[in-house]
Amino acid sequence: MLLAIDIGNTMTDFGFFLTDEKPLFYRIKSRRDLSFEEVKTSFELFLKAQEIKAFDVDKAIISSVVPALTKIYQDLCVELFRIEAKILGPKLKTGVKVNTDNPKEVGADMIAATAGAKAKYGPCCIVVDYGTANKVFLVDKDGAFAGCAIGAGLGLQTNSLSSSAALLPEVSPQIPAKILGKNTFDSMNSALTYGNAFASMGLADAMEKEAGYPCKRILTGGFSSYVARLFDGYIYDPRLLLEGLRIIYERNEK
């Protein structure tokens, strides 16, 4: 069984890929103050609930944008499963060409998502990834990562509004019935949900025009569930990044 770990700024996602069964998924917060023992205990409880034995997991791969947490999950793989996890980075063959000014700047999360999109849906894709940051990027006609737009994500925007504006309350992103808000909560949520969705779809349209050819549209990411029903015509694939990690692992095993 392969364990894929995606360490993001807000959440850490886990995918357990079994040979002949549906994958299992699990998620916890990416707290910088998490201790090894806390992570281990949480993991052991999940494994027990799912009736997964430690020796069932014999392969692991990690994608991380939080270096402080990478070592904890490397150590977890060694202690619980007695395996060395592969780390997504320059030493791994990803199958993803990066056509940017400085390829090293491109986060491991976008590389993994590109690998997943390319393998599952082919080239000519625009991926909208809602995580800590909103990311919109192009997988071009050659299957390469061709560039992106990055902005503050739903969680950051929500927290920033309530913490920076004294008279605005805390809200949890929810799609209101109408765009035209009639109260503070609906007005804030209108901008958070409709505003983000329209901006992302507008960016995708502009990228497609700039690319010069039609592209499939994919929505993914931990915060994508809040706005998924607004993305008409998009493929909703919230596990795209974990699937990409699985594909990258298999490429390197070959």
67 CB neighbour count, 10 Å cutoff: 8
Which among 6, 13, 109, 129 is annotated as catalytic?
Answer: 109
| Category of 94 on φ-ψ map: left (φ > 0), alpha (ψ -120 to 50) or beta | alpha
CA distance 131 to 205: 20
- Looking only at the bridges linking them, the beta strands covering 11-17 and 2-7 are antiparallel
Beta-strand ranges (E) seen in the chain are 2-7, 11-17, 24-29, 59-64, 86-87, 125-130, 133-139, 145-152, 216-220, 235-236
- Looking only at the bridges linking them, the beta strands covering 133-139 and 145-152 are antiparallel
109 is known as an active-site residue? yes
Burial class (CB in 10 A: 0-12, 13-18, 19+), 115: buried
Amino acid identity, residue 48? K
- Looking only at the bridges linking them, the beta strands covering 216-220 and 125-130 are parallel
Q: Catalytic amino acids?
A: 109
